[in-house]
Each structure stands twice: as C-alpha cells, then as structure tokens.
Amino acid sequence: MAKEEGKHLEEKEMEYTIPLRASKHIPPRTKRASHAIGTIRTFTARHMKGDPEDIWIDPRLNEFIWERSIETIPSKVRVRAIRFEDGLIEVDLADKTA
C-alpha cells in the first residue's frame, strides 16, 4: 500500500524517440496508423511507469501520425512525455526548435 502511495510523487518530463518500424510490418495496411498510436501508448506507459489508460495523446501527435494516411506512417517519432503528480501522462509531439 505504501509503495502505491509513493509511486507518483513528483512531476517528470522526458523526451523519447519512439520507433514505429514494427507498426509498418505487423498489422495489415489498413490498421497501421491505429497500431502506431497503440505503440506510442504502450512505449510511454512502459518508460514513464504508468498505466496505458492514464495516457493522454495530444491531437498534434495524432495528426502527425495520420497526416500521410492510414497506410504510410513515419518510421519513428520524437515525443515529449510529462507525468503529473496525479498519475496522468501527457504525450506531445516534440518541437524541432527545442
């Protein structure tokens, strides 16, 4: 019980490069973009130590994945993930100027 209470004490911000190459080969062509969003969700949950249900993906990141249609996704994406004190994790597209 005490371990669960101390799990999310401070705010944490990290930048990750998430490889999406497997999302090009594993699912059928008509499900690549949605598989890539799921890959981003599971990668972030694993590395930020959170639950996949507590992850909020920014619409800019979603549009970046879907901008070249459902079949042609990028091979990798650079994201910024912020874990708040209440356990919510926000995933946003990292700025190229930062």
Strands (E) in the chain, as ranges, are 12-19, 55-57, 76-83, 89-93
83 and 28 in contact (C-beta within 8 Å)? no
Q: Is residue 5 part of a domain?
A: no
Domain enclosing residue 14, as ranges: 10-93
pLDDT at 95: 83
Residue 51 lies in a domain: yes
Per-residue pLDDT, 10: 79
For residue 1, tell me if it sits in a domain: no
pTM for the predicted model, two decimal places? 0.86
pLDDT digits 0-9 by tens, 75-86: 999 999 999 999
The predicted model gives 16-33 an average pLDDT of 95
- What's 86's domain CATH number? 3.10.440.10
Question: What is the dihedral angle through the alpha carbons of 30, 36, 37, 38, rounded to the nearest 10 degrees?
Answer: 100
Mean pLDDT, rounded, of the chain: 90
Residue 31 located in a structural domain: yes
Number of domains in the chain: 1
Assigned token pair, 73: 């996704």
3 within some domain: no
* Structural domain includes residue 47: yes
